[in-house]
Structure formats: structure tokens, C-alpha cells
Amino acid sequence: MKNEKPQSSLEDLNQKILVQDEIMALAKENSPRLLNKFRLVYPDFFDKIAKVHPSLKNSELIFCIYLKLNFTTKEIATYTFVTPKAIQNRKNRIRKKLHIPSDLDIYKWFNDL
């Protein structure tokens, strides 16, 4: 009986890793399923963003997911088939909408959310 708990927590950890791998794969594929999968796994993330700005578009939420996943500007540009400059502009627009101070690292803001 004592072995059940460690094994179930190991199974939970393995399940979390599989889900995170799936989310990363969906992001890298720029899959339309990314938003719904992320919403299922991390509902608190969207609740917290909604408190800051309740009317973000789905495309903006997906961009926030990329930032939450710590993808670099270049990686986001590659996966979404746009230029790094366009991604930099999107970061600036999201910063303004979410009232993220310019002196604060945007990735830190999303990690602390």
C-alpha cells in the first residue's frame, strides 16, 4: 500500500510532461487546437488575463500563450510564419493592452501571472 502514492505521483508527473509536450508541439505547429488545449490545461491563465483585459481576441490570447511558453521572438516568428519585426510589434501592442511596464521583462510578467 505504501508504494501506491509515489507511483501515482510519478504517473501524475508523467501525465503533466506528456500534456506539456503536446502543448509545445501544437504551438510549434501553429495548430488551431492550441488555444483550446491550453485553455483546458491552464484555465487560471485565461482568468488572470481576463482580469487585466477582458476582451482580448483569440489571436492575442494565442500570442500570450507563446509568451507564456517562453518562446523567443525568432521562434514565434518561425512558428507563425511572420517576421521577427512583426512579433516585436505584437509584443509592444500586448504590452500596452495589458499595461505591462516597458522596464519589466514581458516573459517575467507572463511567468508571474
DSSP string of 31-99, one letter each residue: -TTHHHHHHHH-HHHHHHHHHH-TT--HHHHHHHHHHHTT--HHHHHHHHTS-HHHHHHHHHHHHHHTT
Q: Quote the pLDDT of residue 18.
A: 86
Q: Quote the pLDDT of residue 7.
A: 57
Give the whole-angstrom CA distance, residue 113 versus residue 110: 5
Closest to 87 in 3D by CA, of 111, 109, 62: 62
pTM of the prediction? 0.85
Residue-range definition of the domain harbouring residue 82: 4-112
Q: What is the mean pLDDT of the chain?
A: 90
Identity of residue 91: K
* Model confidence pLDDT, tens digit, residues 31-82: 999 999 999 999 899 999 999 999 999 999 999 999 999 999 999 999 999 9
Number of folded domains in the chain? 1
